């Protein structure tokens, strides 16, 4: 199973109060996740973090529209 590093723009939300102009100035958050590449298609990429044979205990699903780069760490 390949190990990859995915760089992606994370979604954000907040309960804080901002003006519209302040909200427009908030930058997106670039995030990096490393894990076992479970699956990738035009809609999403699935990473696994704890893999036991054919079982995945911890996973992450990232929409491809949020993905900037996918870098292979290990084959």
pLDDT interval class at 74 (50, 70, 90)? confident
User: What is the per-residue pLDDT across 12-71, written as a single tens digit (0 to 9) for each?
Assistant: 999 999 999 999 999 999 999 999 999 999 999 999 999 998 899 999 999 999 999 999
**Is residue 45 classed as helix, strand or coil in its secondary structure?**
strand
Residue 74, Cβ neighbours under 10 Å: how many? 9
Query: How much is the pLDDT for 45?
Result: 98
To which H or E segment does residue 8 belong?
A: strand 3-10
């Amino acid at each position: 199973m390949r190990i990859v590093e995915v760089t992606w723009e994370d979604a954000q939300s907040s309960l804080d109060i901002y003006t519209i102009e302040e909200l427009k100035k908030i930058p997106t958050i670039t995030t990096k996740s490393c894990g076992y590449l479970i699956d990738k298609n035009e809609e999403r990429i699935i990473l696994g973090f704890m893999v036991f044979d054919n079982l995945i205990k911890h996973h992450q699903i990232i929409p491809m529209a949020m993905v900037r780069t996918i870098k292979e760490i290990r084959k």
